[in-house]
Structure 1
Amino acid sequence: MADIQDVCADHAEDRQIDVVALGIVTAAILLFVATGSEVGPAVVRSILERGPGPDNFILNAFLLNIAIIIFGWSRYRQLCDEIKLRKRAERQARLLAETDPLTGYLNRRSFNTGVAKLLADNQAEDRAVVLMMIDLDNFKQINDYNGHKTGDLLLQECARRISASLPQQAIVGRIGGDEFAVALAFDKGRDEILDRVAESLVDRMSRPIAIEALRLEVTASVGLARSDLLGIDEELPDARTLLERADIAMYHAKRRGRNSYYWFEAQMADEMRFRSEIEHGIRQGIPRQEFVPFYEQQIDLQTGKLIGFEMLARWDSPKFGIVAPDLFIPIAEEIGAIADLSESVISQALEDAKTWDDHLTLSVNISPLQLRDPWFAQKLIKLLIEAKFPPHRLEIEITESCLHQNIGLVRSLITSLKNQGIKVSLDDFGTGYSSLAQLRSLPFDRIKIDRSFVSSLVDNKDSAAIVNAIAQLGKGLDMPITAEGIENGAVLERLMEFGSITGQGYYYGRPQPAREVSEWLGGIELIANRQFLESELPQLRCAASQEVPAPQPEAPDAPSDPAIKPAKRA
């Protein structure tokens, strides 16, 4: 309000300067006319030698009036130009303060003001307001990999697509990096138009975008909230409340697979509160070591011999009980806590695995987000040194979806790890988009067949064909194969037809915590407390001091392990 008063005062001052300057010029012109009427005839008489010339005082006044007119008019024009420039600058400043310079949409503050006015103007019984929150699903990865210039061009194209999907009277704002908001008044009796608008918007946003010889694919998650759907004893929502509800619905759309739209419902708010509790619990639980390793057996199918374990993270929450990773890993990735969480669990697993027999290996899944850290290999080597764990017994699993996202990163990472004796396997093979050329060029030590193919091996001919093809591929590349998801004896028998394969799954037992695994291994005499070979330590220390920069990868969906479901909330 103070800023508006200052602007109004400046305008009043400008008008006052205009009047004064114009008054001076006008007075000078009047004096010019008055003195000119005396000077002119006298000058003519003097030239014709019919009388004396003009009085010196009147002549000087006449000349002074001419000078004042010239100066005053010049100053008046300068003042007019200055006023125009100031007003233009004020309009530009107001535009910058109210709009997003990249897209031309309203910014958050001015959008909220516009929504408040729209709500006030549509309080009639037959009118209401809908608010849409639009978030680009994979914009950050595109922006990181292709640069901010490409990201800006992508945002501008998305803004054009949003505008093309909306009625002309809609209010549109960019309220975050890749977040847009739309407010639209509608007739309550014609609310079906809102679903058509949302469907059109989602469809337009999912179409490929060509930018500077690049073919980019981006989708949108949309949340909608309307002002006329109220609960018991609930007042009409204001702009802020409507925005929060649409935001909750948008995050619901993201959790339901993205590239879709959802309307706000009351239970969604409960889900958001639960999510906030999970986020808080993750941040508090990492330093308390509430995240612990569970172990799933890995078996040589031909001999039935135990060859190692895959480490699976679990959250031993004091509030929720044992929580499976499909719940907390995606949230940990979104809040930037996955690296600390993973390092904590891996460190515990290395200490546990030290007590196992030397021939037993430890497999660890790595979140794709951790691959963004150029120091990941060094951090892993540091954990090995601290635990005094032999690197040849550790196997790192990288999901197949990482290959097409950043092949340079994967090659650099695999090379760094293998140089230290760590094995690297390609996880979830068959679900991504890797080519045989990529598989041949990258020095993987093992291929792991995704559980979705293995579990349906007996009943689905296509799955059986895929598993057989991968097994033959492993033989041709001289690369061991591991099959995940062995649920029963029928699947095991079928897998054994495909040759030498390692397997894991619930048929061999559920993942178990470290204490139970240690007791079981002790019972079958596979516990061996051996000292780590000191000769390997200098090499690891040297490697840990070297920098291996790596490019930034995109984060695919987190691996799901449904072995143990989260406990019900209290």
Structure 2
Amino acid sequence: MRTLGQPQLAAALGVVLAGGVLAALVRAAFLQVRRRVRSRRSLAASLHALDHAHLRLVAAVDNMSQGLCMFDRDERLVLCNARYREMYHLTGPAARPGILLADLLRERAASGTFTEDVDAYRLHLRDALASGRRIHLQTELPDGRIVAVVNQPMPDGGWVATHEDITERQRALWQIAHMARHDALTDLANRLLFSERMDDALARLRLTGDGFVVLTFDLDLFKAVNDSLGHPVGDGLLRAVAQRLRDAVPSDCTTGRLGGDEFAILQPAGLMRRDAAAALATILLAAIGAPYDIDGNRIEIGISIGIALAPDHGDDTSTLLKNADLALYRAKAAGRHCYRFFEAEMDAEARMHHVLEIDLRNALSRAEFELHYQPVVDIASQRPCGVEALVRWRHPVFGLIPPDRFIPIAEETGLIAPIGEWILRRACTDAASLPPDVTVAVNLSPIQLRSAVLVETVQEILAEAGLPASRLELEITESVLLQRTSGTLGTLHRLGALGIGIVLDDFGVGYSSLGYLRLFPFTKIKIDKAFVGEMGQRSDCAVIVGAISGLARALDMKTTAEGVETADQFALVRAAGCTQAQGWLFGRPVPIAALDFSETPLLADLPA
């Protein structure tokens, strides 16, 4: 039997089924089969597209920078991405679909990324989701990472949560906020933060009555250190001071750098705030006053501290800071490296300070300065061997003003340079008219010593006055010796090489160091009057004077005992080995015309 091909089969069927109902039925069945075939092909294509879309979705979710997880209304995990598992150190089974939220949190606790109470956290979250609004949370993990979590409710009762590691961003924000309220150099509170803390303290004062203390202080002679050793060393010194403050100041205090070398401390205190402030100030004087080694430079400084009590000395930030500053000025005037409490009369003194500062700017051009001279006596012969030039300001309103009232103002304003040069020029001119064996001593400001043309200026003045260099003595204080620079040392050596005497004034107080006597070419040491005045009452003062005198002899230096006021004191300094003496016993400072250089010993009744 021959097999029919498709054309033949179709033709045969067409013949057989050419008419009638049977043909219609067959045609309908054929169309239905064709539609089914097409439907199956469409379904396969749809399934293929769906699989492809699913793969793309999985890839997108797993490559998100945020962790993502979805929970159904029964708190079962529907899905979570790879970033979520990575963030919380979870393995695949630990974050499997279907796991309950509580169990997932316990898995996180086991991995060290969850420390809260599981049930409390779950109940709080469900209560918050019930409101239907998005929930933002921020948490810090035990390893220090900071994670922001956003929970978004879904209509079916479930929710989607995203977890983002914002550690770097948050730390940057914290750093910006910190920088806005802290000093960049020392990391102490800046003026803004310090003022905010004072406002807070004042608010507590009004609410509870708890008082507090404000201490302000700056570094004595910081400008000299900064100018002579350079700003990097100055900055290093400020950082070292800040570290000492962190070590010394109690943690409940606020320590701030208000600018330059100006610092302040806010100290909580009760009824005994005056005693508490005095105790803290004493600690600060010792801690900050100890020597520093900054980049190989040994630096010795001190601080002057002003103290204001709240509410005793003010009930607002501005008044308290102003009054603490006034007390600071009083501490400086008292000799530095000490503390003073605010007193009401300081306000009047501040106004006077301002008036003097204005008038001082014109005093030189108005010829209001004059020099007085105090004799210096040779102890062996009891005759004058020199004079010290002491400037006075004859103010048109306030009369004769002593140097301790206006020299600090001159140094603050920079007027000391022209005033100092005038003093030196006038003293040399006056000394030229004195007996040829009489020397003249002139005090030299640290600011003058930093001048690059000081040596040339001194040479010019000596030449104009016709005064031999050997008859001029330049007195410097120990503050100059803080500037251990080649420039300072070179200037002193050059002055000494001219034959000028270099005198160390007020030795024995302040920052005294025997190393200075080796580093600098001194020809004389002046022993501070504080030791001389106590020699008759305190044996230790007599020992110190004797030791300084003996040391000077060994170094081929002369010694002048300052502040000799009685014959007994003269006898004591002579017995201690001092070579010269100065004080009211031999005469007060007087104008040049009133000096007496007669041959009669000033103390003829004492045995030679």
* Fold match by TM threshold 0.5: yes
Match of 1:419 in 2: 497
Three-state SS of the structure 2 residue aligned to 1:265 is coil
- Identify if the C-alpha distance between structure 1 residues 318 and 280 changes in structure 2 by more than 3 Å, giving closer, same or farther: same
For the Cα contact (< 8 Å) 2:204–2:210, is it kept in 1? no
One-letter amino acid matched to 1:100: D
Deviation at 1:278, TM superposition (A): 3.3
- Identify if the C-alpha distance between structure 1 residues 278 and 62 changes in structure 2 by more than 3 Å, giving closer, same or farther: farther
- Identify if the C-alpha distance between structure 1 residues 220 and 162 changes in structure 2 by more than 3 Å, giving closer, same or farther: farther
User: TM-score if structure 2 supplies the norm length?
Assistant: 0.60
Deviation at 1:290, TM superposition (A): 2.6
One-letter amino acid matched to 1:109: L
- Identify if the C-alpha distance between structure 1 residues 292 and 158 changes in structure 2 by more than 3 Å, giving closer, same or farther: same
Match of 1:317 in 2: 395
Q: Deviations over 1:157-211 (max 9, x none)?
A: 2342355x143xx55433223434344666xxx4226633652464266235887
- Identify if the C-alpha distance between structure 1 residues 299 and 407 changes in structure 2 by more than 3 Å, giving closer, same or farther: farther
Identity value in percent: 32
Three-state SS of the structure 1 residue aligned to 2:349 is helix
- Select the residue among 281, 285, 288 that pairs with 2:359: 281
> Which runs of structure 2 are paired with 1:185-334 in the superposition (5 Å)?
190-192=270-272, 195-196=275-276, 199-200=279-280, 202-203=282-283, 206-207=286-287, 208=290, 221-229=304-312, 237-256=315-334, 262-303=340-381, 306-334=384-412
Structure 1: distance between partners of 2:383 and 2:300: 46
Match of 1:346 in 2: 424
One-letter amino acid matched to 2:214: M
Structure 2: distance between partners of 1:162 and 1:474: 38
Three-state SS of the structure 2 residue aligned to 1:309 is strand
Structure 2: distance between partners of 1:62 and 1:244: 77
- Select the residue among 193, 200, 212 that pairs with 1:130: 212
Deviation at 1:417, TM superposition (A): 0.8
One-letter amino acid matched to 1:127: G
- Identify if the C-alpha distance between structure 1 residues 240 and 67 changes in structure 2 by more than 3 Å, giving closer, same or farther: farther
Structure 1: distance between partners of 2:395 and 2:358: 12
Q: Tell me how many residue pairs correspond in the alignment.
A: 462
One-letter amino acid matched to 1:316: R
Match of 2:241 in 1: 155
Match of 2:461 in 1: 383
Structure 2: distance between partners of 1:246 and 1:270: 14
For the Cα contact (< 8 Å) 2:225–2:483, is it kept in 1? no
Structure 1: distance between partners of 2:453 and 2:368: 25
One-letter amino acid matched to 2:237: G
> Which runs of structure 2 are paired with 1:68-217 in the superposition (5 Å)?
89-120=172-203, 122-124=205-207, 126-138=208-220, 140=222, 147-148=233-234, 150-161=236-247, 163=249, 165-167=250-252, 170-183=253-266, 190-192=270-272, 195-196=275-276, 199-200=279-280, 202-203=282-283, 206-207=286-287, 208=290
One-letter amino acid matched to 1:350: C
Three-state SS of the structure 2 residue aligned to 1:397 is strand
Give the unaligned 5+ runs of structure 1: 1-44, 231-235, 526-570
For the Cα contact (< 8 Å) 1:155–1:178, is it kept in 2? no
Match of 1:548 in 2: none
Match of 1:52 in 2: 41
For the Cα contact (< 8 Å) 1:173–1:182, is it kept in 2? yes
- Identify if the C-alpha distance between structure 1 residues 257 and 86 changes in structure 2 by more than 3 Å, giving closer, same or farther: same
2:599 aligned with 1:513: no
Deviation at 1:415, TM superposition (A): 1.8
For the Cα contact (< 8 Å) 1:298–1:308, is it kept in 2? yes
For the Cα contact (< 8 Å) 2:205–2:211, is it kept in 1? yes
Deviation at 1:476, TM superposition (A): 5.5
> Which runs of structure 2 are paired with 1:540-555 in the superposition (5 Å)?
none
Structure 2: distance between partners of 1:245 and 1:472: 46
- Identify if the C-alpha distance between structure 1 residues 296 and 222 changes in structure 2 by more than 3 Å, giving closer, same or farther: closer
Deviation at 1:354, TM superposition (A): 3.4
- Identify if the C-alpha distance between structure 1 residues 302 and 265 changes in structure 2 by more than 3 Å, giving closer, same or farther: closer
One-letter amino acid matched to 1:176: G
One-letter amino acid matched to 1:275: H
Deviation at 1:237, TM superposition (A): 3.2
Q: Deviations over 1:512-563 (max 9, x none)?
A: 224x248x78xx89xxxxxxxxxxxxxxxxxxxxxxxxxxxxxxxxxxxxxx
Structure 1: distance between partners of 2:338 and 2:531: 28
Give the unaligned 5+ runs of structure 2: 1-35, 68-161, 600-608
Structure 1: distance between partners of 2:283 and 2:299: 15
For the Cα contact (< 8 Å) 2:299–2:482, is it kept in 1? no
Three-state SS of the structure 2 residue aligned to 1:135 is strand
Deviation at 1:363, TM superposition (A): 1.7
One-letter amino acid matched to 2:256: G
Structure 2: distance between partners of 1:445 and 1:344: 24
- Identify if the C-alpha distance between structure 1 residues 84 and 180 changes in structure 2 by more than 3 Å, giving closer, same or farther: same
- Identify if the C-alpha distance between structure 1 residues 384 and 58 changes in structure 2 by more than 3 Å, giving closer, same or farther: farther
Deviation at 1:416, TM superposition (A): 0.1
One-letter amino acid matched to 1:112: S
For the Cα contact (< 8 Å) 1:100–1:106, is it kept in 2? yes
For the Cα contact (< 8 Å) 1:153–1:211, is it kept in 2? no
Structure 2: distance between partners of 1:338 and 1:297: 24
| Larger relative contact order (CA 8 Å, sep ≥ 6) | 1
> Which runs of structure 2 are paired with 1:419-438 in the superposition (5 Å)?
419-429=497-507, 433-435=512-514
2:441 aligned with 1:363: yes
2:573 aligned with 1:487: no
- Identify if the C-alpha distance between structure 1 residues 139 and 380 changes in structure 2 by more than 3 Å, giving closer, same or farther: closer
Deviation at 1:400, TM superposition (A): 5.8
- Identify if the C-alpha distance between structure 1 residues 110 and 376 changes in structure 2 by more than 3 Å, giving closer, same or farther: same
Three-state SS of the structure 2 residue aligned to 1:174 is strand
For the Cα contact (< 8 Å) 1:404–1:434, is it kept in 2? no
Structure 2: distance between partners of 1:118 and 1:461: 49
One-letter amino acid matched to 1:353: A
Three-state SS of the structure 2 residue aligned to 1:292 is strand
- Identify if the C-alpha distance between structure 1 residues 203 and 303 changes in structure 2 by more than 3 Å, giving closer, same or farther: closer
One-letter amino acid matched to 1:196: A
Deviation at 1:308, TM superposition (A): 3.6
For the Cα contact (< 8 Å) 1:131–1:181, is it kept in 2? no
